[in-house]
Amino acid sequence: MSVLVYTESENGKFKKSAFEVASYAKAVADQLGSSVTAISFNTENNDELGAYGVSKVLNVTDDKLATFNALAYANSIEQAAKSESTQVIIVSSSTNSKFLAPILAAKLKAGYVPNVVAAPESTSPFTVKRTAFSNKGFAHTEITTETKIIGVSNNAFGVKENQTTAAVETFNAELNDTDFAVKSIEIDKVAGQVSIADADIVVSGGRGLKGPENWGMIEHLAEVLGAATACSKPVSDMGWRPHGEHVGQTGKPVASNLYIAIGISGAIQHLAGVSASKTKVVINSDPEAPFFKAADYGIVGDAFEVVPKLIEKLKEFKAQNA
């Protein structure tokens, strides 16, 4: 009756979030007096998970599952959950996990709680703390079903080492053609670019940048920091940047360690989307911009002067601390 964790990967390698959800699963297993079993798809170094408290890995090796497929993955996890008699399943808050978790919930008749920010507050009743109202509030949610699915918010719990030895087993679920009724035709992803969901640092630009032609310095700053780039709603609405970069209540939520907002005044919807970020820096020429009330650090100044200087200083800092 272990805790089952779905560890996401890309091109055979675990994503950082896999180690975070494994760490979370270990904390839950400790509370329940149980152990952690991971399910991974076509991954190579499965024993890596042992460092985060996973004692058993069910490794699915199936070429048909080389590309994420929500229904086929959910069916595989369902079968793993049954074979392990699992009552608690842990997933991440990635777009893919949020795609498969509700399917899994319906199949297992399990209560699913996404956006969970801390280890369970109690296991009887089973209560977790999650964000709600687009990060404007928290809910303490009880899961009342026997099987429970928890979606851990990115960067909320952190990666915690907990050395054990992971026994790796091959696991192959029975899948039918109907599980592949939604077929992937094309994946369009810029190689090497950090995605907002995975990023430790996000550099975001707003209307204050005056036009898409000025985004070079945002990208340059992001490159120096190893950060993802993002933008405010008006910027994506005007087509200066792609929709996928829009951060806010109706766009993407950001839960990075550092969020740098440049030329963004800080509408309530934008602040909701970034409030889960740990440290917020705002650069804006308007000292009355609402974002200053929500930020940790601020510079009142013209972005076109401040950002190049910041890039220069960060380069010096990196050279000294390399």
Residues 17-56 that bind other proteins (CB under 8 A): none
Tell me how far, at minimum, the Cβ of 164 lies from other proteins, in Å: 28
Tell which positions 103-162 bind other proteins, by CB under 8 A. Answer: 103, 105-107, 109-115, 125, 127, 131-145
Stretch that binds other proteins, among 20-28, 44-52, 155-163, 294-302 (CB under 8 A): 294-302
Reply yes or no: is the peptide bond before residue 125 cis, omega within 30 of 0: yes
Tell which positions 185-224 bind other proteins, by CB under 8 A. Answer: 185-190, 193-198, 200-201
In this structure, which amino acid lies at residue 99? F
What is each CA distance from 60 to 9, 46, 172, 193, in whole angstroms? 12, 11, 5, 27
Stretch that binds other proteins, among 31-39, 41-49, 81-89, 100-108 (CB under 8 A): 100-108
* Cα 159 versus chain centre, distance: 13
281 forms part of the interface with other proteins (CB under 8 A): yes
Spell 27-58 as b/e; 16+ CB within 10 A means b: bbbebbebbbbbbbbbbeebebbbbbbbbbbb
In what helix (H) or strand (E) does residue 81 lie, and over which residues does it extend? helix 70-83
DSSP string, 250-310: TSB----SEEEEES----HHHHHHHTT-SEEEEEES-TT-THHHH-SEEEES-HHHHHHHH
Between CA 293 and CA 282 the distance in angstroms is 10
Residue among 26 and 280 whose Cβ is closer to other proteins: 280
Residue among 58 and 105 whose Cβ is closer to other proteins: 105
Tell me how far, at minimum, the Cβ of 308 lies from other proteins, in Å: 9
Residue among 166 and 175 whose Cβ is closer to other proteins: 175
Residue among 88 and 101 whose Cβ is closer to other proteins: 101
Tell me how far, at minimum, the Cβ of 166 lies from other proteins, in Å: 25
Tell me how far, at minimum, the Cβ of 70 lies from other proteins, in Å: 7
Q: Site for other proteins (CB under 8 A): how many residues?
A: 92
Tell me how far, at minimum, the Cβ of 243 lies from other proteins, in Å: 5
Stretch that binds other proteins, among 52-60, 161-169, 211-219, 266-274 (CB under 8 A): 266-274
304 forms part of the interface with other proteins (CB under 8 A): no
Residue among 4 and 299 whose Cβ is closer to other proteins: 299
Provide the 3-class DSSP secondary structure of residue 243.
Answer: helix
Contact 190, 229 (CB under 8 A): no
Q: At what angle do helices 303-321 and 216-225 cross, to 10 degrees?
A: 20
